[in-house]
Amino acid sequence: MKSNLFISEQELDAQRRIASQLYREIEPRGLTFFVETFGCQMNVRDSETIKGWLIDIGYAETDDKTSADLILFNTCCVRDHAEKRLMGNIGALKELKDNHPGMIIGICGCMMQQEGMAKKLLKRFPHVSLIFGTNVLHRLPEMIRRVMDGERIAVTDRANDAIAEGLPKLRDNPRSAFVNIMYGCDNFCSYCIVPYVRGRERSRRPEDVRSEVCSLVESGISEITLLGQNVNSYGNDGSTGMHFADLLRYISDVPGLKRIRFMSSHPKDLSEDVMHAIAELPNVCHHVHLPVQSGNSEILKRMNRKYTREHYLSIIENLRSLVPDIEFTTDIIVGFPGETEEAFRDTMSLVDEAGFAAAFTFAYSPRQGTVAAKMEDQIPEAIKKRRLSELNELQARKTVENNRKYIGYSGEVLVEGFDTRGTETMLYGKYQNFKMVYFSGQPELMNQYVNVRVTGINKNSLIGEIIDA
């Protein structure tokens, strides 16, 4: 049995002490920060911790990049266009820094964990003084101290992939929150850079997850999304004494917790026990984000996904028979090396058969250091582009088909936002199974649950009316 490694309380206390010293210097000067986040929910969640620290250090948040005293980009490196975009963004800040010499410009996130990247950026952009990776967020006060003292630093070590509990967080969504249940990934899908930059898989202790959920609910949050690269392998290393289905059961009775979502689910690890937990626990939402990546078993093998097309479809079938109103969303990559036209047709037919509510579709992007980047038979960009647009067209039709079955349906919606641009105020929110619906109503209903009946459909969402608030 492997035991989890945690950052010690002493180390965290030392960081908290630096934070409170910095607070006495920074807060009276009225300094502000601006954090821009790229990529997935993990990065969004990391940015909440970064912002939490910055508040504890004495900064105030601003949404005006041009006047901020500290600008930080939280980067993603899953696909290569992100790097080009980041270079442009950073380059554009040079003039701002020239006019505001005290400004700190920093870059963090997954991309900083790529080999050689931090060094390259420090060299190329003299106006950047702070670089750090995903596994050292607990050391932010010390890093800010050093930069304020005039150093230019890059801190990208993996800190033994240890988990830091009890870090500050600035959450700005009053109804819904992301909760990490695990970090890193052990799967090494052959196209994916995540295991190289985010490190080995490690699970949080169930009691830490539950106590975070309890305090979120006490603060008014009623919907949580459990995050992991593969939530279904939670505790598989034996360190937590629980698997994912047990964790769902363990937190589902937190009083006041109305909705539990989770993502992502790797098909190879979605057990019958998890299926039963989804069916039986009243607040586990009937939605599974189940990335399929390809509909062709040979390509799945080359992707190192460890399931076949048939197995994937059997999960969908089994879950639908247990939970009839369940919805699936997915991720799909087209143009993986060696993907023949026939293999691509298998993806198209799987999409046709599976009936996804929505799909996030990507053209394969070679990532240096991954197995697939070295494979022969890379697919030309033009073919990837054509396959992507064919796939998107098909999914658009399937989404409309899926939406149609909701006409006349009614259920509880959590109001997430409103739009006042038209003649009447339109509210929007999601049913528990992730379907988005628009309906007319008063903005005071924000963050509340209302019953809504579906009366029509849009391309990607439903149209409804309130039946009681």
- In degrees rounded to 5, what are phi and psi of residue 403? -60, -40
Taking the complex as a whole, the smallest distance from the CB of residue 467 to ligand SF4 amounts, in Å, to 40
Residue 188 CA to residue 191 CA, distance in Å, equals 8
* One of 47, 74, 264, 402 touching ligand SAM (CB under 6 A): 264
Residue 119 CA to residue 77 CA, distance in Å, equals 16
* One of 6, 12, 60, 79 touching ligand SAM (CB under 6 A): 79
Residue 294's binding partner, choosing from ligand SF4, ligand SAM, none, with beta-carbon cut-off 5 to 8 A by kind?
Answer: none
Residue 348's binding partner, choosing from ligand SF4, ligand SAM, none, with beta-carbon cut-off 5 to 8 A by kind?
Answer: none
Residue 245 CA to residue 317 CA, distance in Å, equals 19
Binding piece for ligand SAM, criterion CB under 6 A, among 22-30, 62-70, 309-317, 363-371: 363-371
Residue 88 CA to residue 305 CA, distance in Å, equals 34
| Interface mask toward ligand SF4 for 261-300; x: CB under 6 A | -----x----------------------------------
Q: Is 367 in the site for ligand SAM (CB under 6 A)?
A: yes
Residue 242 CA to residue 229 CA, distance in Å, equals 17
Say if CB 168 and CB 53 are below 8 A apart. Answer: yes
SS3 381: helix
Annotate 244-264 with DSSP letters as a single string. Answer: HHHHHHHHHTSTT--EEEEE-
Residue 51 CA to residue 170 CA, distance in Å, equals 6
Residue 261 CA to residue 384 CA, distance in Å, equals 32
* One of 74, 114, 176, 293 touching ligand SAM (CB under 6 A): 293
Tokens of 113: 């964990």
Instruction: List CB contacts of 179: < 8 A, sequence separation 6 or more.
Output: 209, 212, 213, 216, 224, 225, 226, 227
Q: Which residues pair with 289 in a beta bridge?
A: 329
Q: Is 78 in the site for ligand SAM (CB under 6 A)?
A: yes
Site residues for ligand SF4, 167-206, by CB under 6 A, read 185, 187-189, 192, 194-195
Give the Cβ contact number of residue 161 at 10 Å: 16
| Interface mask toward ligand SF4 for 427-446; x: CB under 6 A | --------------------
Taking the complex as a whole, the smallest distance from the CB of residue 305 to ligand SAM amounts, in Å, to 8
Residue with tokens 């399929």: 292
Residue 188's binding partner, choosing from ligand SAM, ligand SF4, none, with beta-carbon cut-off 5 to 8 A by kind?
Answer: ligand SF4
| Interface mask toward ligand SAM for 183-212; x: CB under 6 A | --------xx-x------------------
Q: Is 366 in the site for ligand SF4 (CB under 6 A)?
A: no
* One of 121, 260, 333, 427 touching ligand SAM (CB under 6 A): 333
Taking the complex as a whole, the smallest distance from the CB of residue 35 to ligand SAM amounts, in Å, to 20
Q: Which residues pair with 436 in a beta bridge?
A: 430
Taking the complex as a whole, the smallest distance from the CB of residue 201 to ligand SF4 amounts, in Å, to 9
Residue 271: asked if its preceding bond is cis (omega within 30°), the reply is no
Q: Is 90 in the site for ligand SAM (CB under 6 A)?
A: no
| H-run or E-run covering 23 | helix 9-26
Taking the complex as a whole, the smallest distance from the CB of residue 293 to ligand SF4 amounts, in Å, to 7
Q: Return residues touching ligand SAM (CB under 6 A).
A: 40, 78-79, 191-192, 194, 229-230, 264, 266, 291, 293, 331, 333, 362, 364-365, 367
Binding site for ligand SF4 (CB under 6 A): 185, 187-189, 192, 194-195, 229-230, 266
